[in-house]
Chains A and B, each alone.
Chain A
Amino acid sequence: MHRSTLLAESLAVLGKEVASELRRRVALNAIGLFAVTTLVAVAYQIGPYGLAEQDRPFLLSALLWIILFFAATAGLSRVFVKEEDAHTAKALRLAARPLAVLYGKLLFNLLLLLALEAIIVPLYCALMGFAVKSVGGLVLVMVAGGAAFAVTSTFVAAIIARASGSNALFAILALPLLLPLLVAVIAGTRAAAGSPELLAVFPALRAVVSLGGVTMVTAILLFPVVWRD
């Protein structure tokens, strides 16, 4: 009998997620529209000239991550909630081992976040006049921050899907866990905006990577409990 590997199963779960998302586009629409609407509101109210010069790097970094953070919380929980809504969770439990489900859905959420960042960050820089001195540093912070963000939100999504499945519960559970990460990525973005040196983002990046690594290991250990119970 042909035995599939964990990698093949994870990629199959990812493929299924991408195919079903492209069919309905619920998460994409929720995240994308939320982000663009918030960005327009912020740009309209503050714009490129609304902040004092010395406050700009810090406030603009914080605003950017607040937009990304709330847009992400609007759609990332869908990944597990939709399985419970459509009663397909049981079939998925039979079809793939728990870790393959976690990896597949985590990769999908990561792709969603990276796509969101790829659209929103350049738009934000243009609309808000946010000059970033180290683009490489910003990309590093965005990718590492997105990955760490995806780990926690995917795990919390798995929990709330087994609870009530409400988006409000997702925000309540995810917010306190994501705050330390948010503090670190805002510090990293500010460092990238303020210094052309790539090394400037490393202290914040270290915190982001270690937080992402620790939560990833914990999620791998705990996910079978959440998924099977």
Chain B
Amino acid sequence: MTERTWQKSLKWLLGFWLAGVTAAALLWAPAAAGFQGHSFRIVFFHVPQAWVAVLAFCVNLVASLRYLRGRKPLDDVRATTAARLGLLFAVLATITGSIFAKIEWGMFWNWDPRETSIVILLLIYAAYFALRQAVADEERRAALAAAYAIFAFVTMPFLIFVVPRVYASLHPNLVEAARGAVRFKMDPAMRMVLLGALAGFSGLFAWLYTLEVRVARVMAARRAKEEA
């Protein structure tokens, strides 16, 4: 199998997988107790979106570190692409979360600690792009943006772990759950759909990310050819 057919079949597989996960989330997953109607079904999309936003932030960190070590323009492209996709998924997670909050808790926005965390993540992403736009020189832009991204990354654990502990959260506390202090009663079918959605959204992120990086690579090659 050539690389191209391989990529094509992966793309089709991803499409079928996401279609399957969507159908399972909306039709097959059993109704969860304690929720208003079918509102819980949005969780199958909301949680993976938030996960991808954080995953993109991690990819941005790795690419930024690599850029500062090797100074390869492609690593800067990788960092920017990850940040752009991260921003998109963070916005989607905020919208789906707000819809769920309106149905479950009566308000679109409650300043719940996790809502606050996602807003700050959004602000960091927005600041990252504001910084990039303020610098004209390409190399300096890449280095400053990488430094800012790494610095911002180290403050994130405080948002995710410290802030929800200082203030009470409406969200389930995953740190306590991992310790076994709280037990989630999740139906095995629900868990399967959620894990499938997590894998599907991660795959979607990987596909969009490689596609954008490839486009940027082609554009850079064309620019180099034109300049030569």
Contact = CB atoms under 8 A, between A and B. Distances in A.
B partners with A:
yes
Interface of A: 152, 155-156, 159-160, 162-164, 166, 169, 172-173, 175-177, 179-180, 183-184, 187, 204, 207, 210-211, 214-215, 218-219, 222, 225-226, 229
Interface centre among A162, A187, A210 (most CB of B within 10 A): A162
Contacts, number: 90
Nearest to A222: B147
A contact patch SS: helix
Given A172-B127, A179-B159, A207-B166, 10 more contacts: A159-B144, A159-B148, A163-B131, A169-B130, A169-B131, A176-B127, A214-B154, A214-B158, A226-B144, A229-B140
B55 interface: no
A214 B157 CA distance: 11
B158 A175 contact: no
Interface residues of B, number: 29
Nearest to B128: A173
Given A164-B134, A222-B150, A187 B166 contact: yes
A215 B163 contact: no
Nearest to A180: B158
A155 to B, nearest CB: 6
Given A179-B120, A218-B150, A163 B162 contact: no
Contacts of A163: 131, 134-135, 144
A177 B152 contact: yes
Given A169-B134, A176-B123, A207-B158, A226 B147 contact: yes
B190 interface: no
B112 interface: no
Contacts of B154: 214-215, 218
B166 A155 contact: no
B166 A173 contact: no
Interface in B161-195: 162-163, 166-167
A180 B159 contact: yes
A70 to B, nearest CB: 16
B5 interface: no
B178 to A, nearest CB: 20
A100 to B, nearest CB: 19
B150 A172 contact: no
A172 B120 contact: no
Contacts of B163: 180, 183
Contacts of A207: 158, 162, 166
A229 B144 contact: yes
Interface string B137-160: 001100110111011101100110
B154 to A, nearest CB: 5
Nearest to A176: B123
Nearest to A186: B166
A155 B151 contact: yes
9 contacts: A152-B155, A172-B127, A176-B123, A180-B120, A180-B158, A184-B166, A204-B166, A211-B162, A226-B147
A219 B120 CA distance: 20
